[in-house]
Amino acid sequence: MTTDKSALQREFSELLAEDQRNIRMFSVKLGMSTREIRLLIGEPDEIRNGRPKHGLTWRYGPINKQRLMNFENDKLISSVKFN
């Protein structure tokens, strides 16, 4: 994933208006793509491959304050935040 600011701006401009609005509001929504989540939150601290049925799990933050995001077919299917 490119971290160049102009590349990120270009990727952002390619999103649908509703998706851009969600990112501007820092609003994670089910159905967002991994690309949209990266633009919104940044690179995850860890990416785990789940069983084929479960796709990918992304982890953000330390264990005691982590957020887990589960993806199937490049779409967010669940997001859990632990405090």
pLDDT one-digit tens code per residue, 22-61: 766 677 889 999 988 988 888 899 999 876 566 899 999 8
**The pLDDT value given to residue 52:** 58
Q: Between these two residues, 2 and 33, which has the higher pLDDT value?
A: 33
pLDDT in tens, 65-78: 898 999 999 999 99
Q: Which of 9, 73, 1 is nearest to 43 (CA)?
A: 1
Say which residue, 67 or 1, is predicted with more confidence.
Answer: 67
pLDDT at 1 over 60: no
pTM of the model: 0.68
Q: Sign of the CA dihedral 9, 68, 57, 55? A: negative
| Domains in the chain with CATH codes | 5-81 (3.30.1450)
Amino acid 78: pLDDT: 92
Contacts of 72 (CB under 8 A, 6+ apart): 54, 55
